[in-house]
Chains A and B, each alone.
Chain A
Amino acid sequence: QSVLTQPPSASGTPGQRVTISCSGSSSNIGTNTVNWFQQLPGTAPKLLIYSNNQRPSGVPDRFSGSKSGTSASLAISGLQSEDEADFYCAAWDDSLNGWVFGGGTKLTVL
């Protein structure tokens, strides 16, 4: 049972917009910033969004992040087949004094 809650799966067709949610609490998302990671099969995670809504250099602007209260969301617009991957949210938890992850969302491009 992960501290941050994500839907286990999401899907969309090419060109569509999909959103992945990440729900937490006042001790993590409610207080600290959220990062999002993309993991392709057999590879290391890749930072997609940091500090709630910032994109590292090289990440397409099709990817965007937002946060409100104790929840965060990752939006992917103009869905492409290469976006098919697992996505994870993460935040520092002040009660646990450590990082917590969501359980991950497997995105399928139909």
Chain B
Amino acid sequence: DADVTQTPRNRITKTGKRIMLECSQTKGHDRMYWYRQDPGLGLRLIYYSFDVKDINKGEISDGYSVSRQAQAKFSLSLESAIPNQTALYFCATSDPGQVVEKLFFGSGTQLSVL
């Protein structure tokens, strides 16, 4: 089983709909992240959480919200989806106790907003 699991793997939705992307991890890491990948733009940070009571905005948080339901669960919501939110979304975790903050990524959720 994957250490970082994202659901769903693919999602097609319509403009204006509310959707939630979910992430769960079995690595026992306190830190969790949501990234967005667009072709030619690399990985951009949406939100991150260092523990259950901590939520921080990343560089592109507008139009998104997150919820850290437990140490192992971190969900990303699009309250009213728009076409330019079509992208590949990744959840990641890390352990701050390591010398370098190595990120462990899930397999991604491909979201299409029509």
A joins B in a complex: no
Q: Chain B interface (Cβ within 8 Å of chain A)?
A: none
Measuring CB to CB, which residues of chain A are less than 8 angstroms from any residue of chain B? none
